[in-house]
Amino acid sequence: MTDLMTVFSSELSNCCKIYQLGQVSYQTAWQWQRSLVEQRRHNPELEDLLLLLEHPPVYTLGQGADKKFLKFDPAHSPYELHRIERGGEVTYHCPGQLVVYPILNLRRYRPDLHWYLRQLEEVIIQTLTIYGLQGDRIPGLTGVWINNTKIAAIGIKVSRWITFHGFALNVCPDLEGFKRIVPCGITDKPVGRLIDFVPNLTVEPVRQSVVAAFTDVFKVDCILEKLEENPVLCSSI
């Protein structure tokens, strides 16, 4: 496994700083993303970032998501729920699920949303390959499946070609929370997790595999940074 403390390839043209953030509340991570994107809207020359973390249990609705896919009353619910600016329907985050938020200036790559979504899928597919698993795309849908079981959800927002939100890869989460929604509004395909295919797998090695795959797919130098070196990320700790 590649050591994340290593700069992956000094010959690559773009640099991306990696932050491994552990478990972070959804509200905090959401604020981080909005602040980081706002900085880059005003200064597009700022470096690209990749935030890798886990969330405590939380439900999120895309900006146009339909509440009919909730199996609970959001007005009288004990569950944390946020409507956010990403695309897509309702999804669920919890520990054991690796959440990845790329903050990228797509002008450095290709200013094309469909291309970007396919690249994120490719990062997930290459990650699965490391564990001997075949990830599949399904025409007309966004995400990655194994044997028709959805293993990763993708929901993004782009502002002046700066990306935020991203994807969630189910490594070893408790799937009980998914029973309270129709995940991504898809009624005929179950949600799965990697541990069902690779016993005893944990988030830590998958985190490293995702960074390696991201480096390969986006052709970037990835450098692991310390949390205290980014004042935006430190501000809400």
Q: What is the rounded CA–CA span in Å between residue 38 and residue 147?
A: 39
Q: What is the rounded CA–CA span in Å between residue 105 and residue 226?
A: 21
Sign of the dihedral defined by the CA atoms of residues 37, 12, 152, 194, in that order:
negative
Are residues 154 and 117 in contact, defined by beta-carbon separation less than 8 angstroms? yes
Q: What is the rounded CA–CA span in Å between residue 128 and residue 113?
A: 23
Q: What is the rounded CA–CA span in Å between residue 31 and residue 141?
A: 28
Beta-ladder partners of 191: 150
Q: Which of 172, 184, 222, 234 is catalytic?
A: 184
Residues 6+ apart with CB under 8 A from 123: 100, 167, 210, 213, 214, 217, 218
Q: What is the rounded CA–CA span in Å between residue 170 and residue 212?
A: 18
Residues 6+ apart with CB under 8 A from 226: none
Helix (H) or strand (E) holding 29: helix 26-42
Is there a catalytic annotation at residue 234? no
Which of the residues are catalytic? 184
